[in-house]
Chains A and B, each alone.
Chain A
Amino acid sequence: MNSLINAIIIGAGHNGLTCAAYLARAGQSVLVLEAAAEVGGLARNRIVANGEQLSSAAHLLHSLPQDIIKDLQLEKYGLHYAAQHLKTVSLNKNGATIVLNKQLAMGDQLSSADLLGYDRFYLDMQRFSKALLPVLGKVAPEIAIEDWRQKLDLLGLGWSIRKLGTFYMREFLRIIGMNLYDLMDEYIENTQLKAAIAMDALLGSEWGARSMGSVLTYLYRQAGELRNNTGLALPRGGMGTVSQAIAKSARQSGADIRCNSPVKHIIIENNKAVGVVLETGEEIYADTVISNADPKQTFLKLINPDHLGTNFVRQVNNLRAKGKAGKLHLVLSQKPSFTGLDDSLLGERLVIAPGMDDIELAFNPSKYKRYPDSPILEIILPSVRDDSLCQNGQQLLSAVVQYLPYDDSTNEDQNRTAMLRVVIETLEEYAPGISDLIITAELLTPRDIEREFGISGGHWHHVELVFESFLFNRPTPLLTRHATPIDNLLLCGASCHPGGNLMGIAGRNAAQQVLRGEK
């Protein structure tokens, strides 16, 4: 087979699919090649036990922008919400829960100073995340470049920071390099409240709340949420339906999506990507090759090193991709009950993070490749909101578990089993009796996520969102604006600006770059 098509996209993650949809809509012939049996990547459904499906990695939607939903008519193709604007409920062993609903914090244990502090904190952070908005949706401008359009983008960012006014601009420049632990100390006293807030910054990240950059990741997530009007949302039918909707939209516009088609390597001629070779040996040629895989996979696995420089390989090798988020999936025989949690709140986003120091204690062992004694959890019971997921009154529980190390030891399986026990014991402390309800339980460690989804280090955002890998440096200066050192080879995954979380912006922007001829 030697058919010439416009673009091959490696990987049918949500960004790859979004990229395909936009290209197809522009009249390009697009072929998406997915190694797995199903599209979606981290945003695909997973069948546990008797056909119950739940989101396999990402389980909440909060940053998918309105314009992409509209452009791709995702609602027409099956994106529906089981719930929107989920509240955050921080659980407490003694029943003293704290509920966060946007600007409002509720909890008996909160002092008026805490409530006031939270209000001030919320408003300040909203203000600062808005300042980041001008560059969030666009291809990141390069620094030190003559192109006027990019210069305008940079000036736009500068202006939106300047617009904060003297006082808040100074504040912005001070806090942007801080860690959330110290920053929240300036506003709030209650440690459980602080911990509930910190979850937004820490989920999926390699670092703890005391690590510099946690303010940046917090603001970033807030800014992402500013771009849609659904808040924390639960897609009906699980995260997989979002990917399915994007895939349907893409197919409708003419894109060809082939699953079970792992790519072996990218064909490069005279420093130009011209096609791919599949594991089956089949060669497919195209004008452009776009990789939704992370940079380490793309350059260290799919490309013959003959075509790369040593500095570049070093830079890719050094990319920070140490995932520390695990995923817990439980099938329960009935609704569990959490101490002090009103049943009406069971369908909200539940958080187990008793305090800031507990987060640090969960984080500490991961630095030494050890498992935590009491992990930090973000829990969703999707079936409470979405009865399409389960029958017979059974319930699903999906939880993000921080901080699990990337375990490459020989005891991996034993460690996983032991950790699963620890997670369930932790749950039991908050929901006595929950362990008796468990029908099926599985824990995915970062290494499992790497194996199953082909993401280096099992890192959700492909590359840690840190200053060195931010905006014009994301993921590295040799890989900006979706371009690579190889002509006609682009990246469209979460390693590109604006980064991880289910946003689709990187995919759309990559398509725009192809259409503009910047490749």
Chain B
Amino acid sequence: MTNVNNQRPLYERPILETAFYPSYKHLIQNDQYEEWGGYTTLASFASEGQEYFSVRNACGVYDICPMLKYRISGSDAERFLNRLMTRNIKKMLPDRVVYCVWCDDNGHLIEDGTLFKFSETEFRLCCAEHQIEWLLDSAIGYDVDIEDVSTDIAALAAQGPVSCSVLKKMGFSGVDNLKPFQLAVFSQLGFDVMISRTGFTGDLGYELWVNSSDAAALWEALFEAGKSRGIRMIGSTALDMLRIEAGLIMVDVEFMSCFHTVRHLREKNPFELGLHWLVDFNKGPFIGRQALLKAKQNKPQRQLVGLDIDWNKQADSALIYDSKDCSRQIGEITSALWSPVLKQNIALAFLDAPFYEGNKSMWAEVYLHRECLWERKVFECRVTPKPFYSPERKSLTPPEDL
């Protein structure tokens, strides 16, 4: 590992700013900062409602610089990743992206993320938590180089029904031909912009990746092209609403990495999160395979499902019971949302077997803080399929020209 002992002592450095921060700083109207991996980020810029609707209606832009990015290269890169991931990486075509999860030997979930394939010997892994130690230790015996390139690469997510049109207007001709989870490099701006049709919103959307030094130019071009199309920076509050509607899980909310669980049996496996489709037992050996095979023989004791709650107030942190008198707890809500597009009270929840199968009735116990008084309410709820919201435009290629 290279010694990076050339930086100023930490206390002399203020909290880090992302490569785009100077560009969008003037748009901040709220004092809603939050730290993400040591970076100053925004929970909302001005109005979380407006930000949310910019994605469902026009184009919302989210700064994803603090995500961790690892360059994985070398002659064994594909073999290495195929052992690391529960998915079959060998089936992956170049210039594609897949959503994937990885587990430890016990089949306990470590993290989820997206894997970009440039060639058989060159990949990029993008995720939210630091993985360098696991990646390096897993690389023992492989001809593979692993490098943390997080600060070298800056990235923005441009999401929403007009996102494709905005990108085309920027000059990225052919971007409309990108299928979901496909990527291509465009150089019309005078520097390389890698665009992948990916996102965390369940809508039509793209993620734009550039060298950090080109970040300001990219931002200017994007907002210039989008200014007449209702483009907006969005904060994490809006993003959270969008991902819940899309039924996407989040680390430290729906699951905790087995790297961080202190208590015994708090680890989760992919099946409990409903991610059966990400585990391929036919691809040959991979880390955690034996444990997951065993786990698959039995139904999970608990599983993550979508819930629909009979009421109109968000059921944050609610406990779920098998009856209205709340005597036996059978689960709890991890994420909850009153969905503005669906006009539906939705949630992601962990339920015990057999309740997650959906044919039993259940009740959510919700505590509401109303004018400095806490009120307890109990409402019936039911299991409902995820994603809650999945517009056709998400997968339409080429997207509608707006």
Contacts and interface: CB of A to CB of B under 8 A. Distances in A.
B134 interface: yes
B155 to A, nearest CB: 28
A271 interface: yes
A269 to B, nearest CB: 10
Interface in B331-352: none
A312 B141 CA distance: 13
Interface in B260-292: 284-290
A268 B289 CA distance: 14
A485 B141 CA distance: 18
Contacts of A313: 137-138, 140-141
Interface residues of A, number: 15
Most central of A309, A317, A485 by chain B CB within 10 Å: A309
Nearest to B104: A311
Interface in B95-147: 104-106, 134, 137-138, 140-142
A181 to B, nearest CB: 36
A306 interface: yes
Contacts of A312: 105
A340 interface: no
Contacts of A300: 140-141
A163 interface: no
Interface string A134-168: 00000000000000000000000000000000000
B79 interface: yes
A304 B285 CA distance: 10
A516 interface: no
A485 B288 CA distance: 11
B140 A311 contact: no
B267 to A, nearest CB: 12
Contacts of A317: 140
Given A271-B290, A305-B83, A306-B83, A311 B285 contact: no
A271 B285 contact: yes
A421 interface: no
A3 interface: no
A309 B137 CA distance: 10
| Consensus secondary structure, chain B interface | loop
Contacts of B141: 300, 304-305, 313
A302 B73 CA distance: 25
A70 interface: no
A310 B284 contact: no
A311 B106 contact: yes
Contacts of B82: 306
A197 B82 CA distance: 54
B290 A305 contact: no
Contacts of A170: none
A310 B290 contact: no
Nearest to A310: B138
A422 to B, nearest CB: 37
B142 A309 contact: no
B88 to A, nearest CB: 13
A310 B140 CA distance: 9
A310 B134 CA distance: 8
Contacts of A306: 79, 82-83, 284-286
Contact of A310 (B79, B137, B289): B137
B105 A305 contact: no
A306 B141 CA distance: 9
A310 B105 contact: yes
Interface string A473-492: 00000000000010000000
A437 B387 CA distance: 87
Contact of A271 (B83, B105, B287, B289): B289
Interface string B132-173: 001001101110000000000000000000000000000000
Given A305-B142, A306-B285, A307-B285, A314 B290 contact: no
Contacts of A271: 285, 289-290
A485 B137 contact: no
A242 to B, nearest CB: 36
B141 to A, nearest CB: 4
Contacts of B290: 271, 485
Contacts of B134: 310
Interface in B64-85: 79, 82-83
Contacts of B137: 310, 313-314
A268 B137 CA distance: 22
A3 to B, nearest CB: 26
A313 B284 CA distance: 18
B296 to A, nearest CB: 15
A117 to B, nearest CB: 47
B108 to A, nearest CB: 10
A314 B285 CA distance: 18
Nearest to B284: A306
Contacts of B83: 305-306
A314 B141 CA distance: 12
A268 B285 CA distance: 10
Contacts of B79: 306
B287 A310 contact: yes
A310 B104 contact: yes
Nearest to B140: A313
B227 to A, nearest CB: 48
A304 B79 CA distance: 11
Interface in B170-229: none
Interface string A268-306: 100100000000000000000000000000001000111
Nearest to A268: B285
Interface string A13-34: 0000000000000000000000
B101 to A, nearest CB: 15
Most central of A268, A300, A313 by chain B CB within 10 Å: A313
A307 B105 CA distance: 11
Given A306-B79, A309-B104, A313-B138, 20 more contacts: A268-B285, A305-B83, A305-B140, A305-B141, A306-B82, A306-B284, A306-B286, A307-B285, A309-B287, A309-B288, A310-B105, A310-B134, A310-B137, A310-B138, A310-B287, A311-B106, A312-B105, A313-B137, A314-B137, A485-B105
13 contacts: A268-B285, A271-B290, A306-B286, A307-B285, A309-B105, A309-B288, A310-B104, A310-B134, A310-B137, A311-B106, A313-B138, A314-B137, A317-B140
Interface of B: 79, 82-83, 104-106, 134, 137-138, 140-142, 284-290
Closest 6 CB pairs of A and B: A309-B105, A305-B141, A311-B105, A310-B138, A309-B287, A307-B285
